[in-house]
Chains A and B, each alone.
Chain A
Amino acid sequence: MDKKRKLAGTSRERSEFLWGWLFILPTMAGLIILNLIPIFQTIYQSFFKTGDFGRGNIFVGLDNYVKVFGNKEVWQALINTLKYAIVEVPFSIAIALVLAVLLNRKMRGRSVYRTIIFLPMVAAPAAVAMVWRWLFNSDFGLINNLFHIHVKWISDPKIAVFSIAVIGVWSILGYNMVLFLSGLQEIPHDYYEAAEIDGATGVKSFFYITVPLLSPTIFFVLVTRVISSLQVFDLIYMVIDKTNPALEKTQSLVYLFYKYAFINKNMGYGATIVVLLLVLTMILTVFQMIGQKKWVFYN
């Protein structure tokens, strides 16, 4: 009964329905043409040994997948990617959260601090990478010369991936902070006042009021950060030279994809690596969706 009425609808409902779709049409079209269709093309390509310039593709079934799973380089890249994400995501969220809370108070020069922290976000990633490459340079770099140490930040296979993660944290802090700031401003001030009367300290109200009420924002940032940290490419490409002995222990899955698809011109193999990354990302995202029930509060 109820269903029937909805289907028929009044003329007002119908026109709202029509206009609604019309308004999201541009976004939908962009999403379909630029994202959805290429996704399926990529998946399709992963079953082919691709010929030069996209011609003469030969169907090879699961051959590419067998090769990818048997390739030590791919597994190493997967480990590298996860290492990067494990450093970048928690640190960029925790530090940004603390900064956001500090900069949400009334204080002198607040907008100056906010601007400074947000600035890396405005700089071109390539420029950021070049500057850090010089800071990290083991022979002539500022960091080593300032502290009179000789650490091979970006060419020691053991630490290079973490050095890259530091750059990643630094460049994303501002963006996360702005998201948290907007979330913080949604929290009614009464809660803090009530807590203060009840004798809660600043730290307590941070953990019992700020964090729970901000959890939808934290969750959003977490999901998007995990996804984009798994896609890290530009920093590695710019900072780690092809001849760098640490390359093997720093290259991410996307870097490997670039290498196979665009340097070695093996599109099918590259596509397979991306499909692997896609599946990994989806699994991680599903787990986060399930996990959110335990700690995210929507009021």
Chain B
Amino acid sequence: MKFKKALAMVLAGAMALSLAACGGNGSSESTDDNQAKADSGELSVSIWDSYQEPGIKEILADFTEKTGIKTKLTVVKWDEYWTMLEAGAQGGSLPDVFWMHSNESERYMSNGMLLDLTDKIAESDTIDPENYPEDIWGLYTYEDKYYAVPKDVDTIALWYNKTLFDEAGLAYPTADWTWDDVTEAAKKLTKEDGSQYGLAMRNDNNQEGYYNMVFDNGGYIISDDKTKSGWDDPKTIEAMETLEGWIQDGLMPSLETMSENSVDVLFQSGKVAMVCQGSWMLPAYKSNEYTSENCDVVELPKNATTGRRASVYNGLGWAASANGKNTENAWKLIEYLGSKEAQEKQAELGVTMSAYKGTSDAWTKSADFNLQAYLNMMDDMEIRPYSRSTVTWENEDSELLKSVYTGEKSMADACKEMAAQMNDKLEEEAQ
């Protein structure tokens, strides 16, 4: 009896503890098969956007045809992508070639996880840094060394539902619109019974949403030396109060609705008349019957006082694992993906705008929308605010913003809290 009890104890304990096991080991199994592929000479390629998958697949097939090197593409959702990569980096089994993002790049570069491409780029005939935007290189440069080749560049523009505008008897948005015009139109497009709203911008729509308004108004998110948050800057707060106005006037669906259904789904189902979206959403809107028929896109509005129309922009990079088995082939693939030919193809297929200068015209012809708007947004661009621990403060920012949506706090108070927490994290970063 005693023994039985003791055994039950141990078993119960073991069950409780098996959870703790995750803490140490993470999900390192998931990347095991990457290693297996490396042995057979096949390059493993990882990305997170399933909308881009068909286009990327086609480009990879071209590469295989040219060089005979086989590739295996895996798509992992954004959230899990970084968990997978983290475990892979820790366990020494990163994919051979993968997407890098400005949120995370510095951590990976400074820890020697990414293959140093500096010499290879210098020797290469196809990759000339001159041909890509300098800021994008900046995201993937650490101590004057290149760790990724720019894949794309993205800007933000305003999508609107033509049918809903027609029904309300309103003129379509133009490039001359200000944010105030958006507010006015949204008021007329919102129906009292909650069946239709003027616009939608969620608490986590930073890059494609309120960051742009902040820059338009002369505010900032993070100081250039990455030591201070700009959330408590009066200009920033003023810009964010436009958003607060939309919330208070009920021009947007409730946060509950937006979180349960997501902004782009609400737009794609005609529940919302306007939404700010990045150029990376094109494949989604193009393939959706409703949006391709009823919707179009236009440049972001200007700020009425400053007259500025800025677009936050960002660009992904193709990076390779520093300790992969096939670094030579991995470089060949990255070199191909960065080449004018592949970048042009990416634009033509409408996957995204390409980083290679002058290839984006092909992209504007890839669908029946006014995609020129996205190109025009390139006239005044601000790089997506980042630091070493972007994810940490950015997530906390959107967490704090929720309280404005639910009406618990005023925007000014929330912004001050956001600044405080961000400054704490930046200080920790500097240590």
Contacts and interface: CB of A to CB of B under 8 A. Distances in A.
Interface of A: 31, 34-39, 41-43, 45, 52-55, 133, 137-140, 152, 154-156, 223-224, 227-228, 230-231, 241-248, 254, 257, 261-265, 267, 270-271, 274-275, 277-278, 281-282, 285, 289, 298
30 contacts: A35-B18, A36-B17, A38-B21, A42-B21, A42-B24, A43-B20, A45-B24, A53-B111, A138-B256, A139-B261, A140-B261, A152-B256, A223-B8, A224-B15, A227-B12, A241-B260, A243-B204, A243-B398, A245-B405, A262-B83, A262-B86, A263-B79, A263-B83, A263-B391, A264-B395, A265-B107, A274-B19, A274-B20, A274-B23, A285-B12
A54 B90 contact: yes
Contacts of A298: 1
B415 interface: no
B387 to A, nearest CB: 14
B86 A53 contact: yes
B402 interface: yes
B23 A38 contact: yes
Given A53-B111, A223-B8, A244-B255, 13 more contacts: A35-B17, A42-B20, A53-B86, A53-B89, A155-B255, A155-B259, A242-B259, A242-B398, A244-B260, A264-B391, A265-B107, A274-B22, A298-B1
Contacts, number: 139
Given A281-B16, A298-B1, A257 B23 contact: yes
B202 interface: yes
B90 A245 contact: no
Interface in B388-418: 389, 391-392, 395, 398-399, 402, 405-406
Nearest to B271: A139
A223 B15 CA distance: 10
Interface in B190-238: 202-204
Given A52-B107, A137-B261, A263-B395, A285 B21 contact: no
B26 interface: yes
Contacts of B1: 298
B17 A278 contact: yes
Interface of B: 1, 5, 8-9, 12-26, 79, 82-83, 86, 89-90, 107, 110-111, 113, 202-204, 255-262, 389, 391-392, 395, 398-399, 402, 405-406
A134 to B, nearest CB: 9
